[in-house]
Every structure is written in C-alpha cells, then in structure tokens.
Amino acid sequence: MTEPSNRRTEEARAFGFETRQLHAGQRPDPNTGARAVPIFQTTSYVFEDPESAAAYFNLQEYGNTYSRIMNPTVAVFEERMANLEGGCGAVAFASGISAQAAALFTLLQPGDHVVSSSALYGGTVNQFKHMLRKMSVELTWVDPDDADAWREAVRPNTKALFGETIGNPAGNVLDIETVASIAHDHDLPLIVDNTFATPYLCRPIEWGADIVIHSATKFIGGHGTSIGGVVVESGTFNWSNGRFPVIADPSPAYHGLQFHETFGTYGYLMKLRAETLRDLGAALAPFNAFLFLQGLETLSLRMERHVDNARAVAAFLESHEVASNVTYSGLPDSRYRPLVQKYLPRGAGAVFSFDCAGGRAGGQELIRGVTLWSHLANVGDAKSLIIHPASTTHRQLSDAELQAAGVGPGTVRLSVGTESVEDLIWDLEQGLARVK
C-alpha cells in the first residue's frame, strides 16, 4: 500500500469549463475517499487544542469554527462558483437576496450612495428602495442602456454601480465593459447580478466587473429544489484607494484588523465572511449546497438546451398574432444583438417576457389556459415556468416603476425549460387560443 501524499507537484493547466463544473472545489475526501461531495451536516467543529481554536478565530489559520460562518460542503460550492466565474473566491448565502444585501453591506456605511440599473428583478428593487433607505443609503436609478446616465449619477459618496447581466424581466443586456470602465474611472466597483446568464453564458469579471452575485436558486441549482445565493469577487479591486475606509481601516468589529491590508486580494471576501455573514447570519445549509453542486455538474448541458428551447419559443411567439413585444435579446432583430454577440455568444439565456393582447385579463387568461407550463414565481428550473409579473413578482411596484422595469399590464414572463420544445409550443398555442 502506498502512503497518500500531499507533496505531489501538480501541473498548471487551464482546464475547460465542463471539467471545472464537475471538479473545481472538490478533491476526494482525504478521510474516506468519498468521490461525491460529503454533506457535512454539522453545526460546529472540534478544535485540536486552545492554540488552534484561537488561531481560527483570529483568522491566522483557515479553520472551521461554526457553520454559520463556514462549512466544508458549502465551501466546495463556493470554490466551484468562484472558479467558474473566474474570481478569487466566493461566499455563499441562504438566498440570492441575502447574498446581495451582504455584498452591499460589506462596503456601505450610512450616508453612502449606490447607482443602479432600473431594469431589475422586483425583489432587488424592493431591497434597494426600502432596505437601503432604512440604512440611510441613497440610491439613483439609471437607464442601464445609457452610459452617460451611469456617469452623471456618480457622486462623491457613491460606493458602487449595480446591474444585471440580463435584466429581469425586460431582457436588457448590460454593457458590462462600458459600465465597468465608468466605475473604475471613479475608483468604484461594478457589481453584476449574473443569475440569468450563469457563468456558462457570460463571465462578467472577464469584462471588468468586480463583484458577481447570483441567486443560485435559479439555473445554478437548476431543478427548483433549494433557495441560495453566492457572492464572487475578482480580487483585483483596490479597496485601499481611499474611498472605502469601511474595508481598509482598522475594523472595530474584528479587533482592529485591517482586512484589505492584511489579506490583500482576499480582504473583501474575508470581511464578507468573518463579519457580514457572521453578523447577518444568512448561512447556506450544507444540504442545499450539495444540491447546487449536483446542479452545477450539468450546468453547461442544461444551459445549451435552455437556450435552444428559448430561441424556438421566442420565434414562435414573435410570429403569433396575440403576442407582441417579445423581449428575448437572443432574437435576430433584438436591439441588444450587438451586446449579445459580445457578452452572450452562446445564447441570451432562457428568461424573457412578452405582452399578451388584452392587457391584464389577456395575460391571466393565457396562464389559466396552459397545462404544461407551471404557474409559479421562480425562474431557471429545468421545468418551464410562466408568470404574470404585474399581479405577482412586481406587484409592489408603482406604474412608473413597472414601466422602468419594462413590465406592462399584459406582460407575461417565461422561463423556458428543457422539455421537448414542440410540447412547450403546443401548450402556449392552446393557452393563447383563449386570449381574445
């Protein structure tokens, strides 16, 4: 029997995406040899001795202390996401919305300001509009397609620019490289929600984004089983540029530690984990991390099929007399075609909306009529999903906000799944036949 060795030199190789979606973040368990990722269903971890415990709590050593802050199963998911997005690391959260809150809280203080795209998921609009205001953080909404609007909205107290790779539900495509350069001109980070694209279709960090967030609930998990989120950071943003004392200065929440000076590349993520996750408490459950890892193993395969089906369904709707304003940016005549070719060459995702004739009543009649598409408030499931935003996900928004988010009274949002595409079109056809 040969002794297992830690001292075998590994060749540096640029492995492909499909290899990394299966392997990144995981090595066979050194204790048992388990090939699948073990589910470490434990709240806490036994320390070797008092010195080790102190070193872990002081962040002098990478050590497990408590599953609110880190967990070995969750860590595999975090590293795999960081690897696929091309970041230096990641921190997972119990939901996409808590990941987003944590990403912002780590760099914000009362009196700060954020510039955000106005074409966002309704839940994000709620969080920004109400939660950030409660924290005394100001917000400016901008038309994401207008570079001058981004530039002009920046103020001396601005701390971040925020947008979605593919806007929900209007399907706008963010010009990541342009907005990132505007952010960097002002020593600011660009935060991108990459939920709708996934790292298979677009990797915002490669275009200059500094922080990428995901609702892993969607295509990452891919099977509608678990709620979760993740924050990935590039590791290249200079948090010691003078604009971010909250990260660069000695932290009163961690006995005077200067996170960026001490941990350099890893400073933001260390603070995100050791302070923000510790104090907000929205930890991802190990079992949910396991299910996300199962999802990631087939991410590229599913996304290829999602995109193929989305293209076919969008083309069908475009030719249907009851449907109009099909916002799929993957359509050949989309105004976003140049941006899709640049940022989303493998496809523009699988979530889009269209306007049903007959306004609110028309949209509701279509939803009553379909029998294969599931009427529910989620996207990114392998199963096809349908919803009427004006009466559900975007219900809390005013008419003006609805319009800014690209939602009309008859707008219906689809998340195109991986079923036989002829069955998806058949079902929409029978639903649309009820719309007058």
Partner 1 sequence: MIELEQYQDAEAIQRVLHTASTIAVVGLSSNELRASHFVGFYLKRHGYRVIPVNPRETDVLGTESYRSLLDIDVPVDIVNVFRAPDALPAIARDAVAIGAGALWCQFGVINEEGARIAADGGVTVIMDRCLKVEHARYLGRMHWFGFNTQRITSVRTGLQ
Binding region for partner 1 (CB under 8 A): 3-13, 15, 19-20, 23-25, 27-31, 33, 55, 58-64, 70, 72, 74-76, 78-79, 82-83, 87-92, 250, 255-258, 261-266, 269-270, 273
Q: At what angle do helices 299-318 and 286-297 cross, to 10 degrees?
A: 70
> Whose Cβ is closer to partner 1: residue 47's or residue 263's?
263
Q: Are 208 and 180 in contact (CB under 8 A)?
A: yes
- DSSP annotation string for 281-308: --PPPHHHHHHHHHHHHTHHHHHHHHHH
Task: Supply the minimum distance, in Å, between the C-beta of residue 402 and partner 1.
Answer: 37
CA nearest 80: which of 271, 263, 228, 224?
228
Enter the tokens of residue 367.
Answer: 């939803």
Dihedral sign for Cα atoms in the order 425, 426, 427, 433: positive
What is d(CA 89, CA 91) in angstroms, rounded to the nearest whole number?
Answer: 7
Nearer to partner 1, 262 or 371 (CB): 262
Smallest separation, CB 381 to partner 1 (Å): 25
Distances (CA, A) of 257 to 164, 181, 239, 265: 33, 31, 14, 15
State in angstroms the smallest separation of the CB of 196 from partner 1: 23
What's the closest the beta carbon of residue 47 comes to partner 1, in angstroms?
Answer: 13
Q: Give the residue from 97, 347, 348 showing the smallest Cα distance to 214.
A: 97
CB nearer partner 1, residue 134 or residue 255: 255
Least distance (Å) from partner 1 to the CB of residue 88? 6
Q: Which residues pair with residue 90 across a beta bridge?
A: 232
CB of 61 to partner 1, least distance (A): 6
- Residue type, position 178, single letter: T
Query: Could you give the CA distance from residue 397 to residue 324 in angstroms, rounded to a whole number?
Result: 23
Which is nearer to partner 1, 55 or 312 (by Cβ)?
55
Q: How far is the CB of 273 from partner 1 (least distance, A)?
A: 7
Beta bridge partners of 215: 229
- Exposed/middle/buried for 32, CB within 10 Å: 0-12, 13-18, 19+? exposed
For partner 1, give the closer residue by CB, 240 or 392: 240
Residue closer to partner 1, measured from CB, 35 or 436:
35
Q: Which is closer to partner 1, CB of 83 or CB of 98?
A: 83
Taking the complex as a whole, the smallest distance from the CB of residue 264 to partner 1 amounts, in Å, to 5
What angle, 0 to 180 degrees and rounded to 10, lies between the N-to-C axes of helices 421-432 and 299-318? 40
Between strands 229-233 and 323-324, the pairing is unpaired
Smallest separation, CB 143 to partner 1 (Å): 34
- Cβ atoms of 113 and 136 within 8 Å: the answer is no
**Which residues, 6 or more positions from 370, have their beta carbon under 8 angstroms from its beta carbon?**
386, 427, 428, 430, 431
Q: Residues near 134 by Cβ (< 8 Å), separated by ≥ 6?
A: none
By beta-carbon proximity to partner 1, the closer residue of 72 and 208 is: 72
- Give 71 or 158: the residue with its C-beta nearer to partner 1: 71
266, 89 contact by CB (below 8 A): yes
- The least distance separating partner 1 from the CB of residue 430, rounded to whole angstroms, comes to 46
- Please, what is the minimum distance in Å from the beta carbon of residue 226 to partner 1? 17
Biggest CA pair distance of the chain: 75
Q: Output 20 or 360, the one with its CB closest to partner 1.
A: 20
Could you tell me which residues come within 8 angstroms of residue 295 by beta carbon, excluding any fewer than 6 positions away? Answer: 219, 220, 221, 222, 223
Query: Considering beta carbons, is residue 2 or 319 the nearer one to partner 1?
Result: 2
